[in-house]
Structure 1
Amino acid sequence: MSAWLRPRSVLWTLLFVTAASLALGLAAGSSGWGFTAPEIVWQIRAPRVLAGFGAGAALALSGALMQLLTRNALADPYVLGVSSGASVGALSAMLLGALGSAAWWSEWGVAAGASAGALAATLLLLSLSWRVLARSGVSGVQEAPVSLLLIGVMIGSAGSAVVTLLLTLAPEAQLRGMVFWLLGDLNGATHWVAVWLALAVALALSWPWAHQLDWLARGDAWAATLGVPVERRRRQVLVASALATGAAVATGGAIGFVGLVAPHALRMLGLRQAPWLLPASVLAGGSFVVLADAAARTIVAPVQLPVGVLAAAVGVPSFLALLLKGPRGAAR
């Protein structure tokens, strides 16, 4: 590995990219680039940038954790179905018709609904997977990752069906806002504290045991012989990933490809060990969303595009390029 691809060098580069992306995010506005009145920068742009960075960082961290947990480099944060639960909760809040009747509901209603939906999906996921995780915790049986994927797909499919029903029943006056939210939209996303707290908790649940997550990714039997409490670590990763995903979706909607592309790109750069991969994913995912949102605000200004559209436009070709150019052994 060349010197510039050493983990420490990559982290320093990511810190520089993070600082630059935050500066660009503060300079981007619907009227163009540049710093205008201080109150606009600090009261409107700064909260949006912090919310976008927190959402992107949480999604990238969740993606890295899910790839370790399922031993699949193509896994992403939405594989658990938590995002579908958050979508159901948010759209239900919009459909209640109370968004315009009270100022506090207009400000907090969608985030509260998304958080409640994500919590319900997480509890359902934990209850359904509890027996599977307990059964295969230290026995070396390799069925737990597959079972988790199947449970997540089931919850996600059920949530998607409910989302389709809600969109069908929605009045035209609210349909545009609901669709924009589903595409991933940071317009009005000023509540950044919750996603940053969720990100901190997710890191606290995963990063101190990052070496054990590497061993767990090599197989249950291997990790158990090294003294890893397999069942406990799986549940920690599951809770951390669900918490980060739920908070991110509640903050900025269903922004896609961040949790898939960021960890995969970092592995291509040589960051395959979890102690380096997890913090690097936080920086890369947060920077990616901030830059995508800056472009979404300015590319067709004064019209603001959903950040999820830009994320997909960049994420799909980037991931295909990484997949085609990368070595065969790039994924675990």
Structure 2
Amino acid sequence: MKPGRVLLVLVLLAAASMLGGLAAGSSGFGWAVPDIVWQIRAPRVMAGFGAGAALALSGALMQLLTRNALADPYVLGVSSGASVGALSAMLFGAGVGWWAEWGIAAGAAAGAFGATALLLGLSWRVLSRQAASDAPVSLLLIGVMIGSAGSALITVLLTFAPEAQLRGMVFWLLGDLNGATHWSAVWTGLVLALALCWPWAHQLDWLARGDAWAATLGVPVARRRRQALLASALATGTAVATGGAIGFVGLVAPHALRLLGVRSAPWLLPASALAGGSFVVLADTLARTIVAPIQLPVGVICSAVGVPLFLALLLHGPRGGRR
């Protein structure tokens, strides 16, 4: 399928998913009074779409950087850093009171950029001693180690959390859009991330073919890699701050688009954002209605779809591993 046609279908899907999200409530489908639609449902839909779009964009960037179609924004440890920052804010009081949402968002952003700074520092130190061809593997290994350290810190924070806060913290780690009203931060992060990487998207395609190949074509390899990493960190940090740790979106959306024939980065990046946003909004709509009036965390639905897809990709390694 031609990329332009896929992009048009995704725009229509995004519009349909957002309309469905506005019509879905804890009691099932149906239009409610305007105050409920515009003050409760609309901010949640905007937050969910922005978070999904940011995570999918980050996933596409990570797959280009690592030359691995199974890469995920969480693989570089940025989401773990964001989770550590947000949970620390909850535990030490920044998530209490009138500025609770902003306190958690600030903690998540600080954690994300802290993890990114550590990633950039370690990768610069390690990659300066290695051949350029080893860069993607080394980047993955450093990210996995940062993510493991972040997971250990999350366990420590949960161990010391009081009973009154533990349930909310666990739900947040599962990915939860309940009460997500501050959607402007994630949309700002999404726009800035696109501005950092999309103007040079064709150079990311060359970079994905190999550092030596890109350098012969005049690509500033180190600068473009830093820009892509910062864009990914910005997108992931604001997404985690908005909706918690929603998994598998960065894996599912870009890879599904590649199977549809969208492989060129100038098309893949915006298409991934549209697909990821629609995916999260649809998952959240299902999470709100499948066992209404109980609302499931949106991360549960995303994982229910993402886990079997990930296993299917692993079972078809040669096909899934190509860019």
Match of 1:284?
275
Once the two structures are superposed, residues 258-301 of structure 1 have per-residue CA deviations (whole angstroms, 9 ceiling, x without a partner) of: 00011000000000111111110000000000000011111111
Answer yes or no: is the 8 Å Cα contact 1:264–1:331 preserved in 2: no
TM-score of the aligned structures, taking structure 1 as reference length? 0.93
Once the two structures are superposed, residues 130-155 of structure 1 have per-residue CA deviations (whole angstroms, 9 ceiling, x without a partner) of: 3345666xxx6211111211211111
State yes or no: 1:177 paired with 2:168: yes
2:125 counterpart (123, 131, 145): 131
1:114 counterpart (91, 96, 108): 108
Answer yes or no: is the 8 Å Cα contact 1:267–1:331 preserved in 2: no
Answer yes or no: is the 8 Å Cα contact 2:123–2:142 preserved in 1: yes
Cα 1:98–1:224, aligned 2, differ >3 Å: closer, same or farther? closer
CA distance in structure 2 between the partners assigned to 1:29 and 1:249 by the alignment: 23
CA distance in structure 1 between the partners assigned to 2:229 and 2:304 by the alignment: 29
Match of 2:294?
303
State yes or no: 1:247 paired with 2:242: no
Answer yes or no: is the 8 Å Cα contact 2:55–2:276 preserved in 1: yes
* Unpaired runs of at least 5, structure 1: none
Answer yes or no: is the 8 Å Cα contact 1:185–1:308 preserved in 2: yes
Answer yes or no: is the 8 Å Cα contact 2:68–2:321 preserved in 1: no
1:71 counterpart (67, 70, 88): 67
Once the two structures are superposed, residues 177-236 of structure 1 have per-residue CA deviations (whole angstroms, 9 ceiling, x without a partner) of: 111000000111111111111111111111111111111101111111111111111111
Match of 1:143?
134
CA distance in structure 2 between the partners assigned to 1:94 and 1:213 by the alignment: 38
State yes or no: 1:43 paired with 2:43: no
Match of 1:229?
220
SS of aligned partner of 1:328: helix
State yes or no: 1:213 paired with 2:201: no
CA distance in structure 2 between the partners assigned to 1:27 and 1:255 by the alignment: 22
CA RMSD of aligned residues (A): 1.7
Answer yes or no: is the 8 Å Cα contact 2:287–2:297 preserved in 1: yes
TM-score of the aligned structures, taking structure 2 as reference length? 0.95
Fraction of identical pairs, as percent:
80
State yes or no: 1:331 paired with 2:322: yes
Match of 2:177?
186
CA distance in structure 1 between the partners assigned to 2:3 and 2:267 by the alignment: 7
Cα 1:269–1:20, aligned 2, differ >3 Å: closer, same or farther? same
Answer yes or no: is the 8 Å Cα contact 1:268–1:330 preserved in 2: no
Answer yes or no: is the 8 Å Cα contact 2:86–2:104 preserved in 1: yes
CA distance in structure 1 between the partners assigned to 2:222 and 2:305 by the alignment: 37
State yes or no: 1:87 paired with 2:83: yes
CA distance in structure 2 between the partners assigned to 1:8 and 1:124 by the alignment: 38
Match of 2:98?
103
Q: CA deviation at 1:107?
A: 3.2
State yes or no: 1:24 paired with 2:20: yes
Q: CA deviation at 1:117?
A: 1.2
CA distance in structure 2 between the partners assigned to 1:326 and 1:10 by the alignment: 25
